[in-house]
A and B are shown apart, each in its own frame.
Chain A
Amino acid sequence: NAGVTQTPKFQVLKTGQSMTLQCAQDMNHNSMYWYRQDPGMGLRLIYYSASEGTTDKGEVPNGYNVSRLNKREFSLRLESAAPSQTSVYFCASSQGPSYEQYFGPGTRLTVT
């Protein structure tokens, strides 16, 4: 099992460009999450999907959109990238909201 996979691993964008971060899990988990991690700020939840067909905002949703494509896949879209979105993005999944989360390897995004 690959667990949680994310693509791309690295990305550089110019201000105003758009992109989609992809996440997939092969653990048959119901819940999936997107976090960003900045120095000194810890992990902050952007959006999550408690179950297939549902999505909800987290702590820092502005500037992002998500799609729960199916049970396996959960994508994060930046419509118009801003330098403040320079960060490391992690996708995670869990059996359900009360269970432990497993993280993907992360995407390092730089917006210039």
Chain B
Amino acid sequence: QKEVEQNSGPLSVPEGAIASLNCTYSDRGSQSFFWYRQYSGKSPELIMFIYSNGDKEDGRFTAQLNKASQYVSLLIRDSQPSDSATYLCAVKTYNTDKLIFGTGTRLQVFP
């Protein structure tokens, strides 16, 4: 089992819809969770981070964390074509200094 798993996609949603991206992790000691966006040919760009169970909202983005079920999700409201990118989930566990990245989910928002 991979430490951090994401569906590779592509996830296709129409403009204006809600895009839901999911990530599961295997280590129950995980403590910090990050979402990055990566456009083709560019470097990863931090969108949000979340440390506590529940929801965290920032503009059109909401991160949701459920430690009991070991998943973290990213919701993008009012999706725009400019949101089309690969979204990377990253997790930090308690006893390491490293982030473990998932392989990413490709999101396509069509007009």
What CA separation (Å) do A43 and B89 show in the bound complex?
A: 11
What CA separation (Å) do A43 and B92 show in the bound complex?
A: 14
What CA separation (Å) do A56 and B43 show in the bound complex?
A: 23
Report chain A residues within 8 Å CB of B98: 33, 45, 48, 58, 97
What CA separation (Å) do A40 and B102 show in the bound complex?
A: 10
Is the contact region of chain B dominated by helix, strand, or loop, or is it mixed? strand
B42-65 contact mask (Cβ, 8 Å, vs A): 1 or 0: 111110010000000000000000
What CA separation (Å) do A58 and B101 show in the bound complex?
A: 13
**A42-B104 contact, Cβ under 8 Å, with A56-B97, A97-B92:** yes
Report chain B residues within 8 Å CB of A106: 42-43
A61 at the binding interface (Cβ < 8 Å):
no
B32 at the binding interface (Cβ < 8 Å):
yes
User: A interface, how many residues as a size bin?
Assistant: 20 to 34
With most chain B CB atoms within 10 A of its CB, the pick from A40, A101, A102 is: A101
Contact B32 A98 (CB under 8 A): yes
Would you list which residues of chain B between 73 and 104 have a CB under 8 Å from chain A?
88, 90, 92, 96-99, 101-104
User: B interface, how many residues as a size bin?
Assistant: 20 to 34
B31 at the binding interface (Cβ < 8 Å):
yes
With most chain A CB atoms within 10 A of its CB, the pick from B45, B88, B92 is: B92
Would you list which residues of chain A between 17 and 48 have a CB under 8 Å from chain B?
31, 33, 40-45, 48
Nearest 6 pairs of A and B residues by beta carbon: A97-B97, A42-B103, A103-B43, A43-B101, A50-B97, A103-B44
